């Protein structure tokens, strides 16, 4: 069995961003030369996420509204954690959106359903953060 590992780095300009990383992941898969196996992609920071969904701008705005209703950024004093940093909402948003995705690899391609894309979700940005890509298979 072969194994491949790569870190992808992102330097976001806003506190919250959704970035389609599907093409980055497909490049990793091509580099790995693995045709059948599994791909794991996970956020390496506790205030960011990796998830699969549709790349549609209305849906992205819906995510923002949904997450902000469940874990509003302000007022900062509503969270005990914000005595340390002002990012408690980002920790909660990450928990809601998830840490990682696992995708089957079939015939050298990501085995997606219709419209599926991989996203990096940043909830406490404006700094450099990374994602791990690990691929195993033959």
Q: Where are the domains of the chain?
A: 2-55+97-137
Token couple for 64: 């923002």
Which pLDDT value is given to residue 84?
84
Token couple for 69: 């209703």
Q: Does 98 have pLDDT greater than 90?
A: yes
Q: What is the pTM of this model?
A: 0.95
List the one residue out of 137, 136, 128 whose CA is nearest residue 41. Answer: 136
Report residue 94: phi and psi, to 5°.
Answer: -65, -40
State what percent of residues in the chain have pLDDT above 70: 100
pLDDT in tens, 25-50: 999 999 999 999 999 999 999 999 99
Confidence tier at 81 by pLDDT (50, 70, 90): very high
Give CATH for domain 2-55+97-137: 2.60.120.460
Cβ neighbour number for residue 104 with a 10 Å cutoff: 13
């Amino acid at each position: 069995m072969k194994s491949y590992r790569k870190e992808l780095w992102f330097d976001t300009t806003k506190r919250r961003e959704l970035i389609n990383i599907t093409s980055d992941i497909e490049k990793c898969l091509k580099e790995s030369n693995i045709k059948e196996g599994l791909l794991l992609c996970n956020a390496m920071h506790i205030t960011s996420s990796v998830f699969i969904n549709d790349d549609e701008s209305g849906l992205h705005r819906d995510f923002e509204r949904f997450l902000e209703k469940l874990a509003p950024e302000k007022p900062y004093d509503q969270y005990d954690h914000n005595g340390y940093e002002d990012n408690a909402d980002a920790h909660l948003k990450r928990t809601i959106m998830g840490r990682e995705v696992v995708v089957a690899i079939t015939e050298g391609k990501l085995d997606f359903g219709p419209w599926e894309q991989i996203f990096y979700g940043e909830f406490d940005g404006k700094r450099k953060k990374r994602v791990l890509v690990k691929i195993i298979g033959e």
